[in-house]
Amino acid sequence: MTTILGLSGSLRRASFNTGLLRAAHEKAPEGVQIVIGDISGVPLYNGDEEAAHGTPPAVATLNRQLAQADGLLLVTPEYNNGIPGVFKNAIDWMSRGEGLALFAGKPVAVIGASPGGFGTTQAQTHWWPVLRTLKTLPWWEGRLMVSRARGLFDADGTLTDDKTREQLAEFVAGFAASLRKDKP
């Protein structure tokens, strides 16, 4: 079984990106499991709090999930042409201390959905320096930027557009196939 940890960078209940992640989970090919992680319980990073209390439980859970995963799928919104602060904060927490080693050599793919016309081009591009610093292995062979998302998702954030669901299935299958090639 190939396992991918999927993280949505949005906290909104009917988020397009959380819906995109749920659809990726549904469209995962046979033999591939996408575990949906939850960043909503991750507090703002504060070094004093870390020194006093250690790793927060929500971060410890995400790190366990990352340790067990063959790959990482970041599903990123784009806020003001960049990475959402809440998402970057979660990754920053996860990479503290021993968590940093969990990212080294981990294959990573980035996708996203936006109501705008350019998808999440800027946010996806902004993730690469962060992921390079964490020594991940970016998957360069696929790119998925879902634009004009309001017409592709229902009011609950469920991806309803068949063409986009098919593109997502192809993307997930390609990323998963690259992970299987890397397994001993």
Residue 173: its H or E element:
helix 162-182
The answer to whether residues 39 and 8 touch, using CB atoms and an 8 Å cutoff, is: yes
- List the CATH number of the domain containing 142: 3.40.50.360
Inform me whether the pLDDT recorded for 56 exceeds 90: yes
Distances in Å between the Cα of 139 and the Cα atoms of 107, 132, 146 are 6, 12, 18
pLDDT per position as a tens digit, 11-55: 999 999 999 999 999 999 999 999 999 999 999 999 999 999 999
**Start-to-end C-alpha separation, the chain:** 13
Range of the domain at 142: 2-182
Residue 184 — pLDDT band, cuts 50, 70, 90?
Answer: low
Residues whose CB falls within 8 Å of the CB of residue 114, separated by 6 or more in sequence, listed in order = 16, 77, 78, 120, 145, 146, 147, 149
- Angle CA(59)–CA(85)–CA(154) in degrees, nearest 5? 90
Residue 183 — pLDDT band, cuts 50, 70, 90?
Answer: low
Q: How many distinct structural domains can be found in the chain?
A: 1
